[in-house]
């Protein structure tokens, strides 16, 4: 019997079903990586012992940064609306001068007392997808892109309402980030991504020294379920063993892919519990599928294939959302933050490939795309699926709090997968399951464990801030305040003082 993971069987069909209808997305890149693990030539993975070698690190590369922040200041983005009341910056930070490797960033300060606000880093997943194209311009940034691919409109629920937000395109080869050494692309992986992101941060904080002592938070989604804890671990180890310190307070990850076993079971259980496949198919999966085994029976493989066929042609990343049926650019229409356009990827690609936009962003002329092909490189090095669990425990043990949040309409990394993954950590519950509120509505549900809080977001898909921007902003505000989200209805955010009455944890 051929050895292949159950998740690979599931993905093999899901990619055939999904890819003809859309360009490869952040979640599709996750699929491709997991599928590659079961190929004839799977990627080399790194063990926890090798991760611990970080303790014998040398000091991070630091280059002179004086004056570069002002050179990175954006005068205005093409097509931005009138009345922009915050400073924005973008440019490159060199992380390896010998290789000529540099990472691209976009930074937006808060319009409200930025000197008192924390610093929040956002990482998209993939692996190999852009935090600029997704995070900044489709999710939590201050602007969204209109359907003409030329102009922008404001996102009133942007996270820079409550924090200073830094978007990083990582690793090199993603978006505008690059290397002059092509072998860097061939040998990219989770461990090198964490190292480069750490070197980026050390140098960026030299460029913006006013943020050196600021409270710092790591946020992200999808494969950032690996990126975020690995970067947090790298920061905490270097804080302990070097004289370079980053004031990391907590990490928050949305719809995070943690490991293949709990992820696969969670997907298939989600399909059945949301009436997307039949009782008969689910009974076969329950009886014949062992999610932890590499030996997949024919009955199990056929049942998982049937489960995906039975769901039909829907958006796997938001099961109740419409598909993109007309990806052409459309003049004269202004988007709405309350109605996320499923064709937004197309508008973003058009906008970020405009020469005047790349010039305004201080980017090198680039054929920009949302996701790279780094994970398809034969030498790409992901970490083994249980490494993230070990890192979660290490982070919890040293008192750095974490939040795992899930949009409850995402079937690709569903709430069931997150719950199963969290349950393997066997953390004691400190605050039991309860609803939380965004304004007058239930925003979702929350349970607090020791060192880790799990939050669901009602009505959100894989890209939580895209589909539920107000609820996502409520969560990030409670996150940086170190509180659970509100336990009762409240009036909402105040423009003059964006805060809310936090009622009971």
Buried b (16+ CB within 10 A) or exposed e, 182-202: eebbeebbbbbbbbbbbbbbb
Q: Give one word for 449, left, alpha or beta, with left for phi > 0 and alpha for psi -120 to 50.
A: beta
Residue with tokens 């425990």: 393
Helix (H, G, I), strand (E, B) or coil at 275: coil
488 is catalytic: no
497 is catalytic: no
What whole-number distance in Å separates Cα of residue 5 and Cα of residue 103? 34
Q: Quick one: which of 199, 14, 234 has its CA closest to 92? A: 199
DSSP codes, 437-494: EETTEEEEEEEEETTEEEEEETT--SSHHHH-HHHHHHHHHHHHHT-PPPSS------
Dihedral sign from CA coordinates of 319, 264, 276, 299: positive
* Among 226, 282, 385, 462, the one annotated catalytic: 462
Here the tokens at position 28 are 């599709």
Q: Count Cβ atoms within 10 A of the Cβ of residue 87 and give its class: 0-12 exposed, 13-18 middle, 19 or more buried.
A: middle
Helix (H, G, I), strand (E, B) or coil at 77: coil
385 is catalytic: no
Mode of pairing for the β-strands spanning 452-457 and 88-96:
unpaired
* Among 5, 22, 69, 222, the one annotated catalytic: 222
Mode of pairing for the β-strands spanning 452-457 and 401-407:
parallel
DSSP 331: T
Q: Quick one: which of 349, 347, 366, 369 has its CA closest to 151? A: 347
* Among 90, 410, 466, 478, the one annotated catalytic: 410
Here the tokens at position 246 are 């980053």
| Helices 260-273 + 279-288 axis angle, to 10 | 160
What whole-number distance in Å separates Cα of residue 2 and Cα of residue 102? 42
Asked whether the beta carbons of 412 and 15 are under 8 A apart, the reply is no
Q: What angle do CA 426, 431, 437 make, to 5 degrees?
A: 125
The residues annotated as belonging to the active site are 222, 410, 462
């Amino acid at each position: 019997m051929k050895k292949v993971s159950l998740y690979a069987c599931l993905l093999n069909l899901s990619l055939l079903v999904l890819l003809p209808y859309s360009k490869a997305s952040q979640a599709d890149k996750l699929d491709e990586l997991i599928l590659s693990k079961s190929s004839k030539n799977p990627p080399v993975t790194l063990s926890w012992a090798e991760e611990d070698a970080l303790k014998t690190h040398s000091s991070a590369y630091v280059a002179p940064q004086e004056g570069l922040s002002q050179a990175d200041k954006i005068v205005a983005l093409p097509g931005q609306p009138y009345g922009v009341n915050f400073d924005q910056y973008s440019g490159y930070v060199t992380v390896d001068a010998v290789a000529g490797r540099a990472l691209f960033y976009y930074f937006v300060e808060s319009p409200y007392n930025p000197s008192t606000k924390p610093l929040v880093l956002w990482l998209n997943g993939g692996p190999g997808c852009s935090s600029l194209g997704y995070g900044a311009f489709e999710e939590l940034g201050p602007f969204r892109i209109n359907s003409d691919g030329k102009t922008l409109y404001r996102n009133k629920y942007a996270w820079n309402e409550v924090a200073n937000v830094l978007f990083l395109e990582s690793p090199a080869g993603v978006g505008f980030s690059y290397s002059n050494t092509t072998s860097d692309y061939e040998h990219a992986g989770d461990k090198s991504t964490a190292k480069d992101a750490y070197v980026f941060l050390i140098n960026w904080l030299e460029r913006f020294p006013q943020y050196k002592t600021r409270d710092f938070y790591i946020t992200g989604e999808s494969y950032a379920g690996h990126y975020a804890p690995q970067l947090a671990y790298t920061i905490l180890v270097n804080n302990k063993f070097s004289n370079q310190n980053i004031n990391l307070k907590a990490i928050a990850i949305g719809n995070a892919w943690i490991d293949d076993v709990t992820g696969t079971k969670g997907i298939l259980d989600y399909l059945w519990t949301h009436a997307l496949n039949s009782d008969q198919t689910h009974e076969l999966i329950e009886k014949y599928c062992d999610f932890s085994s590499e030996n997949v029976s024919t009955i199990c493989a056929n049942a998982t294939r049937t489960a995906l066929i039975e769901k039909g042609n829907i958006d796997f990343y938001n099961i109740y959302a419409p598909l993109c049926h007309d990806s052409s650019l459309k003049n004269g229409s202004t988007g709405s933050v309350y109605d996320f356009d499923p064709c937004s990827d197309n508008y973003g690609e058009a906008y970020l490939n405009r020469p005047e936009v790349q010039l305004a962003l201080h980017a090198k002329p680039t054929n920009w795309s949302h996701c790279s092909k780094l994970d398809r490189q034969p030498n790409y090095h992901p970490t083994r699926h249980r490494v993230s669990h070990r890192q979660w425990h290490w982070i919890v043990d040293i008192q750095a709090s974490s939040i795992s949040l899930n949009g409850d309409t995402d079937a690709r990394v569903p709430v069931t997968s997150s719950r199963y993954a969290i349950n393997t950590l066997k953390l004691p519950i400190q605050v039991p399951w309860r609803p939380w509120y965004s304004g007058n509505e239930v925003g979702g549900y929350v349970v607090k464990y020791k060192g880790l809080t799990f939050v669901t977001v009602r009505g959100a898909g894989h890209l939580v801030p895209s589909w539920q921007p107000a609820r996502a902003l409520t969560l990030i505000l409670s996150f940086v305040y170190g509180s659970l989200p509100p336990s009762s209805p409240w009036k909402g955010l105040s423009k003059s003082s964006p805060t809310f009455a936090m009622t009971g944890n």
